[in-house]
Structure 1
Amino acid sequence: MRDKQQVFGYAGYEMRSHSETRWAALMDSISISWLYESQLIKTRHGYYLPDFYLPAVGLFVEVKGLGPTAVEIEKAEDAEAATGIPVIFAYGKPELLGAELAHGVVAYFNGAKRISFSTRELGALVRQSYDIHTYSAFICAGEHQGMPDSFSASDVMLEWVNKSMDRSGRESYAASLHGPLNQAKQDKHGQQSKAEWFLAKFAEKVRSRRKTSGRENYD
């Protein structure tokens, strides 16, 4: 039986899960610029490293397979309190159903309450705002792909290097790899895209409601 894969390459990055690479590709398909694991934040549950930061939007994105636990939501709340940057969760198992991307969710939690969008709803916005080629790229990027049956030679080498280091070593290595890639992406980013504009408006609404009413019911 093959050992569980720990490193998943995407665009030069070494990500921690297959789900992270899929959500990264989905964001790329609609021109949402992201930085990977760019900010370490102290929370009541220890240090927290959100998966993605969207610099043109002012949001963190945390990817979870089945959805966030109560502890993960508390980490996100602490991260927002410390930085002023809301954390949204991307989770589920997006798959193609009737030419639409279903079973994926993007959600912001406020205690036990949440505001959420399905990938089907997000796809409808993409279809309305972009051309058919962009919509097709969105669907292809987001659709769940099964794990490959075998590793490439480079994958095997990455896994070996990763497993040969302790946690501190792995974190230092990841930071040294991802830091320059993040900086290059940040330097390159230009005008805010349509999708980034939409998410920025959403982030503004979240910040405004938290300031004026605390744990308001968004449902």
Structure 2
Amino acid sequence: MDAIDVFYLYEPDLIQVEGCKYLPDFYLPAADIYLEVKGAYPTPEESAKAEQAHKATGRPVVFLVSRPESDGYGFMNCCIRAPGRNGWIDVSLHDLDQMYLKVAGDMAWHKALLSVREDDLDWVRPVGEIMEEVMHEMFGRSSMESHLRMVHKRVNEERSSAERSASLAEQGLTWWRNRYFQKPTPPNAMDGAVKRALGAKR
């Protein structure tokens, strides 16, 4: 997301869903969606939580499945799993990177591909993931998620205060979100539209 200039907040919202609280990994304000990162396809329980979070907040939850890798042709070995009109749909990350190449150009595309290449810290990340899972089990997932949200709150507030304009990638995400998940019109705005329509008829 940093490589393609998509602004995000990390674990900002703790959402009450059936039987527990749900803490999506990322919130992308420009598109008003949540992004969850999963090493494998989400379980039916995880998908159900995402659907409940969508209903509770009006924000769709999208999964990035598996760890992105890249070669000279684009991204590979992962996909985006998104809610569709008739259930969940999978979109190859390679298909998305090819669209990005056409719109953003070679330099931006190569920067995105290089962002997922292995580096010296890659061996450290799985240790951190294991430790996080152990902590979840020891202290209970809901209480741990409440704690994590507070840890990230200050950083998210600092990031949110910076002025910025929507990047090319954010414009694409926003287009997708608005096309498939139109936001409901706020009640006050609806009242104003009705009054204007009635006024025009008189």
Shorter-chain TM-score range: 0.7 to 0.9
Q: Which amino acid aligns with 1:71?
A: E
**Does structure 1 retain, via aligned residues, the 8 Å contact 2:14–2:145?**
no
Query: C-alpha offsets along residues 109-143 of structure 1, whole Å, 9 cap, x if unaligned?
Result: 34872233212112112211224332122112234
Q: Is the 8 A contact 2:14 2:146 kept in 1?
A: no
For residues 6-21 of structure 1, what are the structure 2 equivalents within 5 Å? none
Matched position secondary structure for 1:125: helix
TM-score normalised to the size of structure 1? 0.69
Are the aligned partners of 1:45 and 1:75 in contact in 2 as well (CA < 8 Å)? no
Label 1:137 to 1:43 Cα distance change in 2 as closer, same or farther (>3 A): same
1:28 aligns with 2:6: no
8 A contact 1:108–1:116 mirrored in 2? yes
1:96 aligns with 2:70: yes
C-alpha distance after superposition, 1:50-97 (max 9, x if no partner): 000001110000111111111111101110111111111111232224
The 1:135/1:150 distance shift into structure 2, 3 A limit, reads closer
- Partners in 1 of 2:116 and 2:13 — Cα distance? 25
The one-letter amino acid paired with 2:37 is V
Q: Which runs of 5+ in 1 are unaligned?
A: 1-26, 211-219
Counterpart of 2:38, as a letter, is K
The 5-angstrom pairing of residues 165-184 of structure 1 reads 166=139, 170-171=144-145, 173-184=147-158
5+ residue gaps, structure 2: 185-202
In 1, the alpha carbon distance for the partners of 2:12 and 2:125 equals: 30
| Structure-2 residue corresponding to 1:148 | 123
Q: Counterpart of 2:80?
A: 106
Question: Does 1:84 find its partner at 2:58?
Answer: yes
1:206 correspondence with 2:175: no
Q: Which residue, 45, 70, 80 being the options, matches 2:44? A: 70
Pair member with larger Rg: 2
RMSD of aligned alpha carbons: 3.2
Partner secondary structure for residue 78 of structure 2: strand
CA distance in structure 2 between the partners assigned to 1:49 and 1:149 by the alignment: 23
Kept after mapping to 2: 8 A contact 1:61/1:89: yes
Structure 1 residue 42, shift from structure 2 partner: 1.1
CA 1:176/1:209 → structure 2, altered by over 3 Å: closer, same or farther? closer
The normalised TM-score by structure 2 is 0.74
1:119 aligns with 2:129: no
* CA distance in 1 between partners of 2:148 and 2:100 (Å): 33
User: Percent identity, aligned pairs only?
Assistant: 29
